A and B are shown apart, each in its own frame.
Chain A
Amino acid sequence: MAATVEAPGVTQVAAKPPGVVLLRVYRHNPAIPGDEAKIVTIRVPRLFGMTVLDALIWAKENVDPSLAFRCSCRMGICGSCGMQINGIPKLACETQLKELEGDRIEVAPLQNHPVVRDLATDFTGFFGKHRSVRPHVVRAGAEPARIERELLQTEEQKLAYYQFTMCIMCGLCNSACPIATMDAQFLGPQAIAQAYRFTADSRDQGRAARLPVLDGHHGAWRCEIAGSCSAVCPKGVDPALGIQLMKRTLLRRR
């Protein structure tokens, strides 16, 4: 099947046969000087149970091997295949073609992440912000040579942070965040929600080291509760709630 190249926003689509989906893919390689972003339309046969990721893999195998995107597990666990599908951040592997309206599917890289090439984005800054909040249980004093005893928790203590452990770091929440679009230094919903996850953990003693980052110019207080992060999370996590709980923690530490 041939691919037709068209300028963004210009429709040049011929009558499509039944059972075909028109995949409109964002193509751009910033590493090539002068390469301009464009939308490429690829005709992909609609197969039973096909996901957007399946369609992209089909396009790569049958139409254009140079098409770049990231994927791994294909089952919504690794969080690698996040992208804008019809303008909404989603995991390509969890988005069935049949659940999308129409036969024309727009696929673009995640917003608020620099494009490496085509649909693959750079997560260096995202992971850097994640690391800045010390996303692990911190214990006071030196790390013991061996674990003396288990750090037990009650069910209630576990439930205080449990939903935030579901985060797969796919970056969809940061992509949907309007504040992250405006403020590149904003920690973002993922990092702040993960900071809360560990701050709320009864085993953690790293609160004092973690909170200054969250209480800075571009920390939790920049959130304006748009809630789009929670709306797009593929794992049902509510990062907006995590941010508000983090704000409460910051107020109560005084």
Chain B
Amino acid sequence: MRESTLQIVNYVMIAVLFFTVLLHLALHGFFGFVDYEGSLVYSDVVTRYRQTIPAVMLTVLLISAAFHGLYGLRNILLEFRSGPVWDRTVSYGVLVAGIALVGWGMRTIVLTAMGG
């Protein structure tokens, strides 16, 4: 994939991340809860996971944060060393890490939403 394509996706993810983090913090801090600690009560957290909009928002937050973070990590690692083998290892390693991270996060969201 072209670097410019990855960069465009990264720009989109940054914008998405900005708004989802704001929304996430706003939901915890301002709407429906007395305070931040109160928003972290187990039963409330499980209830949010079972509602469609918060669950979708968490999914979007997970994907955008994972992409943005791992894309940055890839850039740092690409600067550490040079060579086609290193480039491929880093790119595919980061891709696998991203799939694992999103998969793990999605598992939590889906299982909780299904009552697990």
Q: Complex Cα distance A74/B2, Å?
A: 43
CB distance from A130 to the nearest CB of B (A): 18
Q: Which of A54-62, A103-111, A215-223 contacts B (4 or more CB under 8 A)?
A: A215-223
Is the beta-carbon distance between A221 and B8 smaller than 8 angstroms?
no
B3, B7, B80, B91, most chain A CB atoms within 10 A? B3
Q: Determine the residue in chain B with the shortest Cβ distance to A254.
A: B4
> Which of A183, A220, A250 lies in contact with B78, CB distance below 8 A?
A183
Query: Hey, what's the 0/1 contact readout for A213-233 against B, CB within 8 Å counting as 1?
Result: 001111111100000000000
Number of A interface residues at 8 Å Cβ cutoff, please give it.
19
Residues on the B chain within 8 Å of A251, using CB: 4, 7-8
Any B CB within 8 A of the CB of A53? no
Residues on the A chain within 8 Å of B83, using CB: 185
Number of B interface residues at 8 Å Cβ cutoff, please give it.
15
Q: Determine the residue in chain A with the shortest Cβ distance to B91.
A: A217
Is the beta-carbon distance between A217 and B2 smaller than 8 angstroms?
no
Q: Complex Cα distance A182/B77, Å?
A: 10
Residue numbers of A with Cβ under 8 A of B are 179, 182-186, 215-222, 247, 250-251, 253-254
Residue numbers of B with Cβ under 8 A of A are 2-8, 75, 78-80, 82-83, 87, 91
Given contacts A215-B2, A247-B7, A251-B4, 15 further A-B contacts (CB under 8 A): A179-B79, A186-B79, A215-B3, A217-B3, A217-B78, A218-B78, A219-B3, A220-B3, A221-B6, A222-B78, A222-B79, A247-B4, A250-B2, A253-B4, A254-B8
